[in-house]
Amino acid sequence: MNTAEAKDYLAARHIPRLFESLLTGLMYYRPEDPINYIELCLQRVRDMGGPEKVQWDTFLSRNLPPINGGPEKKKAPHRAEALLPSVIRRYERLPPIQSQFSIDSDSDMTESSGLIQEYDVFDPNRERPKIIFVIGGPGSGKGTQSAKMASHFGFVCVSVGDILRKQLIHHATSDRKWELIAQIISKGELAPPETTIEELKQQFINHQDACGFVVDGFPRDIGQAFTFEEQIGIPDLVIFLACSSQRLRQRLERRSAQQGRPDDNTHAIERRLETFKQNLPLIVKYYQDKGLIARFDADREEDIIFEDICCAVQGLLFPDCFGIQDAFQQSFPSSKPSDAQEKEKAEVNLPADQPEVVFTPEPTVMAEKHM
């Protein structure tokens, strides 16, 4: 089965929409026994008549399984829906949300239908723009470095976090979906993956003439990496800003006092750091296997970090400007990574068996390291 056949198989059976509804329910309720929760949800899908009956909010409305392993409420005679615990707000079903990506069509394609990947985000008759991901812990300086990098190379900077926060400001009080996402983000959890990918696609569509994109804060987990590759493609480079947890926490607390972001409250900070440490090893391993990771010590001054990043991007993505890429790589003597890098590696349990391009605290020093 090739990729196209796999997509057709999943779309025809409404699997992406089923997964989105399950993930939405899990992230919103966070049951103590997620396996039991999923089993009960799947039983409900069978009772409904199959995945084609499922909407993104199916498990947030009626007939939800008991939460946190509690006993199921008694049902009223002839009623199919289970009663939720009184502490959980009940909602009425909303009609399907029309996709903002429908192209010159009055079709009923919805945001959660899983059909959005069936068209090209970029013009197939043109060379695809360069795509650089910038990953790192919350407070590692991703936004600052992404904006400076985009300005330097003439790329478009796309901040996933800023996009979601703007959507929350405009829609959280009037749109049920964004109201739920606001609650998820305020707890330090990740937004639903399909929502993140769709917002990212819209940014690409809105900048068809861009020669490149710097995507700040993406991917946040391995599922987002897989989905991006399936629906859009492989990035050209992944910048990893390694920063100690102590420094991350200090920066987040200072930013919270200055900006008052909803995801910078004390509980959310700890949860975001925990989520980052859980998700990072798989992301790094995945892109290391593809030879795309460039890692920088982000405990330094931002201007020094930026010098290293610019030199790396120039040499790795635009080697013709130097003549040949080998000449670029040979111009940097070998050096060991800093203590801060080793500390961060230990804290997040990074994979230790793959080659990685490492940028050390000395400006513009690069070494090929087998971790």
Residues 6 or more apart in contact with residue 368 via CB below 8 angstroms: 329, 334, 355, 357, 358
Q: Determine the topology of domain 122-370 in CATH.
A: Rossmann fold (3.40.50)
> 3-class SS at 216?
strand
pLDDT in tens, the chain (371 residues): 666 677 778 888 888 888 888 888 887 778 888 898 899 899 889 988 898 888 877 887 544 444 444 444 444 443 333 333 332 333 333 333 333 333 233 333 334 334 444 457 888 888 999 999 999 988 899 999 999 999 999 999 999 888 877 777 766 566 676 677 777 666 666 677 777 888 889 899 999 999 999 999 899 889 889 989 988 999 999 999 998 888 888 888 887 776 655 555 677 778 878 888 888 889 999 999 999 999 999 989 999 999 999 999 999 998 876 544 444 444 333 334 445 444 444 445 455 444 445 544 433 333 334 34
Residue 335 DSSP class: -
> 3-class SS at 366?
strand
pLDDT of residue 233: 93
Residue ranges, comma separated, of all CATH 3.40.50.300 domains in the chain are: 122-370
pLDDT of residue 94: 38
Strand order in the sheet with 355-359: 156-159, 212-216, 130-136, 237-242, 293-297, 355-359, 366-370
d(CA 313, CA 237) in angstroms, rounded, equals 8
pLDDT of residue 241: 94
